[in-house]
Structure 1
Amino acid sequence: MYRGHTIGVIVPAYNEAERVGDVLATMPAFVDRIYAVDDCSTDDTWAIIQEHAAASRQAADEDTAPSGERVQASVPDGGTVVGSEIVPIRHAENQGAGGALRTGYVHARDDGVDIAVTMDADGQMDPDQLSALLDPIADGDADYAKGNRLADRVSRREMPPFRLFGNWLLTQLTKIASGYWRLQDPQNGYTAISHEALSAVDIESLPDDHDYPNDLLVRLNVARMRVADVSMPAVYDDEESTIRYSTFVPVTSVTLLRGFVRRMRAQFAVDRRHPAVLCYAAGTAALVATAAIATVGVANAVAGDPSVREPVAAALTLLASASFLLVATRVDARDNADLGVRR
């Protein structure tokens, strides 16, 4: 328990036999329950999770020695499990990063855990930083907290350049889709969510793939939940990313677009004259008109009948589109400013 709140940590794992044991063994003592979700691994991940779960059960059974001293159950890698119950869960079929996380979230919600944390099994997330992640929720300032590796210059330099650029681009797109305009590093998997927020976002329909954090942020905004960015150092070793960019990019793009439309529909349902919604719609319509006018101009030029009318008209509609979209983003950022928390 942390500051009067029960804590459940979800550890999704796929072929992490070399690291998952260390993650489970070094969990802070205030963690009440660990949901170790093996996503149908093909190595010894499941066996290691089971060993640690057995050790946690032994520690619970032998909680107090006759002398009144705490008994610590040992685990195969030399660590100890003290107090935290490990719940081993195994998928019969691989469901992806989002699917494994979804399973843990459902268990944590149904168990009534006050704050559910996600911590990857690859050792990239420092357990010593967990209290900093929990504080915004424990203080009542936020409903969801996530790590941010981009807040610190040193951490940005440690991130590989390709990841840094991709993260920056995803940050900009996710800001637009989710409405959390102060957000950075949306793909950070070190997160904490309150029971109230977890119960409000229909977690059963979370996507299976690595686009789950982007989708979750949209759901949180629709539910008007406050999100805190917590500065965290980046930790990189020799682990390999499981993201396949050939599928991640198109899938995430569709998720972001769908999420943006869902958020606009939710705002429109509340206020049919919402200025951000109207400006986004007008800007998009003007952009479509620009493309149509430009197409006509190109077709006329190819047919040997060039004219300045189409280029001028396209330039004017493009300018109108940019103006509408700029106003939309400004209004959107203003209306959602109270939902973004920086720590």
Structure 2
Amino acid sequence: MTSEHLTLSEEVADALAAGRPVVALESTLLAHGLPPGRNLEVGRRLERVVRDGGAVPATVAVLDGRALVGLTPDQLERVCDAGLAKLSLRDLGPAVGLGGSGATTVASTAALADAAGVRVFATGGLGGVHHPLPGETVTWDVSADLGVLAKVATLVVCSGVKSILDIPATLEVLETNSVAVLGYRTDDFPAFYRRSSGLPVSRRVDDPKQAAAAYAAHRALAGSGALLANPVPEAHELDAELHDRLLAEGLELLRTRGVQGSDVTPVLLEHFHTASGGVSLDANEELVVANAALGTEVAASLSELAR
């Protein structure tokens, strides 16, 4: 993406020029994944966690036809106000070309971060392959996140994928597209609110330096993206019985409302947050904060490797 369409904040540009660590953060989590008020608190907390770890936060969004990597405090507040569209990679060009605004998903954030030269991106959960709708045997509902990581060599630090998804199929698509799946201090792929999906990761790493070394070599040799799957902190993992009940209720809600596509995750999250009395909301916040902290450590290790 040319500089005509991409704007780096002065802080981000200076850090990249000096070889200092930078961590990208998405904005759809703030605009669509968290309730008003709390979203701004979380957005500020994420940036603070990155700064406290010695890196520069680069929250990504599109505002008034400009793709921004790194936001001012006023821009962050604007992202957290109601009304911003949800922009995946397919939506970036029209939004930028027509002077629009929107919050970036995992797919579009990863692409913009890579275009800016930011290698590490911390988020909550990755999109994936959905289960077929009732009466169907196959689905074409596959998140753009997977296709983007096939061609954009970003390291995405996340807590796996949500349990509503077809996790085995998602892992197969990642494998087909040569996306490395690293488990951080775990042999199991996480399932967002739950620490394990019962499925293995392709490689385990036990400290940020190992993660940085594995990713740097993967980027050089494969040219595709990588996941660093970091389970939700144990103290905030949802109780299995509560999780399964909320999931069953959420799936039924999706079925009765006929919810499909990009609306699935927001509707499901809203049900989890409401029906759990805020317990899942706390888990959501704490897992993304933990991922931002880990991403900061890995970004620092990558800077050391580059030096």
* TM-score (normalizing by structure 2): 0.31
**Structure having greater relative contact order (Cα 8 Å, sep ≥ 6):** 2
* TM-score (normalizing by structure 1): 0.29
